[in-house]
A and B are shown apart, each in its own frame.
Chain A
Amino acid sequence: MPEKIRLEKSAHALNDAVAQQNRNLFREAGIAVVNMISSPGSGKTSILEALAGSMGRSLLVITGDIQTQLDKERLERAGAQAIQIETRGSCHLTAHMIHEIVKQQSFTGVRLLVIENVGNLVCPSSYDLGEDEKLAVLSVAEGDEKPIKYPGLFVRAEAVVINKTDLLPYVKFDIERAIADIRKLNSNAEIFRVSCTTGEGMDALAAYLERPTSRGRP
């Protein structure tokens, strides 16, 4: 006779258990952790370079790409601490990948850890890494229908950045439509309009990311 075992566990249960270990470790270290997710080329690294200008080495970035160390090199040149994960094909970061790094990482002097996920609007939003919050980035060059086409990320994000606003005069991007669609998906999300080129909105975003209110924050 076969035996039926009731599991009632998420398909991501093994990932989520490691994510919780990461979260405990981050709380012990007293650092805030943000999981930054967007499509490729939306400007995640440029935003972090600008943030590094004010935060310096108190900003630690774990950056994920299919291959190359290019983002780590850019972030270090900008003054941040950076660790590169090359996923060798995987289209998202997992809690295990982050755990391998953070279990041996010193967080002395670090106030904010940003995990810059692999550029992809689909699966990264399904994988808890142990972060306090998810930050979605969308650039005006991508088109204003992206939130409604890729709702999974925008539903789960605590904050959304609309980047490259300096390009608005040159592209067909209805920013009010994009914001209205984000609001339909997520009425609580903080929304920031940012341009890394002109610096518009960067102070507000930096103040939000460095705010001392969230769970892991000192």
Chain B
Amino acid sequence: MHEYSVACEIAALVKQSAQGRPVQQITLAVGALSGIFTESLTMYLDLVLPDMGMNNVKIDIRDVPAAFTCACGEQYTARTMTSACPKCGEYARTISAGQDCMVESIEVEDA
């Protein structure tokens, strides 16, 4: 459900960045731990973008896996936030990738 809010934020950011030029494509990078369901995000973008004057925009979504750095120095990827370090078995780690939803780039028509 909160993908609707995220879609509205992305549309506003894209509109501002395009500075009036027609937008043809939006490339997103969605992290595995971002809590965003990509099918739902695409559906809402298809609804929200035309409302903001952006029609026929291609949405390209790249999935970003979750990556962790353990206190022991080990770097590893995992599906969930509750995954122990495969080397030392501890949970003392920081999340190094996969929490964000990024707008990587947009393609606009020439002015």
In the complex, whether A92 has a CB less than 8 A from a CB of chain B is yes
In the complex, whether A4 has a CB less than 8 A from a CB of chain B is yes
* Cβ contacts B23-52/A at 8 Å (1 or 0 each): 011001000011100000000000000000
Q: Are A7 and B17 within 8 A (Cβ)?
A: yes
20 more CB-based (< 8 A) A-B contacts, given A10-B103, A11-B100, A122-B35: A2-B109, A2-B110, A3-B108, A4-B105, A8-B104, A9-B103, A11-B10, A11-B13, A11-B102, A13-B9, A13-B13, A14-B13, A126-B2, A151-B33, A152-B81, A184-B84, A184-B91, A187-B91, A187-B92, A187-B93
In the complex, whether A207 has a CB less than 8 A from a CB of chain B is no
In the complex, whether B97 has a CB less than 8 A from a CB of chain A is no
Contact of A5 among B35, B82, B99, B105 (CB under 8 A): B105
Contact of B106 among A7, A11, A155, A187 (CB under 8 A): A7
Contact of B82 among A4, A12, A151 (CB under 8 A): A151
Q: Are A155 and B95 within 8 A (Cβ)?
A: yes
If the complex has contacts A5-B17, A123-B2, are A14 and B12 also in contact, measured as CB distance less than 8 A? yes
Contact of A122 among B2, B80, B102 (CB under 8 A): B2
Which 5 pairs between the two chains have the least Cβ-Cβ distance? Answer: A123-B2, A151-B81, A11-B101, A184-B91, A2-B107
Distance A12 CA – B99 CA, assembled complex (angstroms): 12
Q: Are B104 and A2 within 8 A (Cβ)?
A: no
Q: Are B110 and A1 within 8 A (Cβ)?
A: yes
- Who on chain B is nearest to A183 by CB? B91
Contact of B108 among A2, A10, A122 (CB under 8 A): A2
Q: Name the interface residues of A1-58: CB closer than 8 Å to any CB of B.
A: 1-15
> Which residues of chain A have C-beta atoms less than 8 A from B110's C-beta?
1-3
Q: Are B24 and A9 within 8 A (Cβ)?
A: no
In the complex, whether B5 has a CB less than 8 A from a CB of chain A is yes
Q: Name the interface residues of A168-218: CB closer than 8 Å to any CB of B.
A: 181, 183-185, 187
Distance A92 CA – B81 CA, assembled complex (angstroms): 22
Q: Are B13 and A9 within 8 A (Cβ)?
A: yes
**A128 → chain B, closest Cβ, in Å?**
12
27 pairs across A/B with beta carbons < 8 Å? A2-B25, A2-B107, A2-B108, A3-B109, A5-B107, A6-B105, A7-B13, A7-B17, A8-B103, A8-B104, A9-B13, A11-B9, A11-B100, A11-B101, A13-B9, A15-B9, A91-B1, A91-B2, A91-B5, A92-B5, A122-B2, A126-B34, A151-B80, A151-B81, A155-B33, A155-B99, A184-B84
